[in-house]
C-alpha cells in the first residue's frame, strides 16, 4: 500500500477576506505621505500600520513630490470647466 493513499489529492483553501480593494481619498494619501516624511518613521512600519504595500507608499510619495497625487477626475473637471467658460 502507498503511504499517501489516505491523503486527499485536492485541498481546499479558504479565503477569509474577499472584500474590495481599499479606496484612499486624496486627503488620506496626503496625510499618510506627510506622516512618512517625519523623522524616526520607517516606511515599512508606516505601510504596515496603514495596511498598504511599501511600493504603494513609495508611489504616493513620488506622485506627491510631482504634485500628481490628486485624482485625475478633479483635473479633468478643471479642464472641462475652462473649455466650457
Assess if residue 21 is contained within a domain.
Answer: no
pTM: 0.57
Assess if residue 19 is contained within a domain.
Answer: no
Q: What is the tens place of the pLDDT at every residue in 44-64?
A: 999 999 999 999 999 999 999
Write the CA distances from 52 to 5, 28, 49, 65, 67, integer angstroms.
43, 12, 8, 19, 21
Q: Would the pLDDT of 5 be above 60? A: yes
Q: What is the tens place of the pLDDT at every residue in 32-42?
A: 999 999 989 89
Number of domains composing the chain: 1
Assess if residue 65 is contained within a domain.
Answer: yes
Assess if residue 33 is contained within a domain.
Answer: yes
The boundaries of the domain holding residue 52 are 26-70
Amino acid at each position: 500500500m502507498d503511504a499517501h493513499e489516505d491523503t486527499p489529492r485536492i485541498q481546499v483553501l479558504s479565503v477569509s477576506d474577499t472584500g474590495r480593494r481599499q479606496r484612499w481619498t486624496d486627503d488620506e494619501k496626503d496625510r499618510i505621505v506627510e506622516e512618512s516624511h517625519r523623522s524616526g518613521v520607517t516606511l515599512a512600519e508606516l505601510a504596515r500600520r496603514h495596511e498598504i504595500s511599501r511600493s504603494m507608499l513609495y508611489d504616493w510619495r513620488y506622485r506627491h513630490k510631482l504634485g500628481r497625487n490628486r485624482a485625475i477626475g478633479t483635473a479633468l473637471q478643471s479642464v472641462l470647466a475652462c473649455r466650457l467658460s
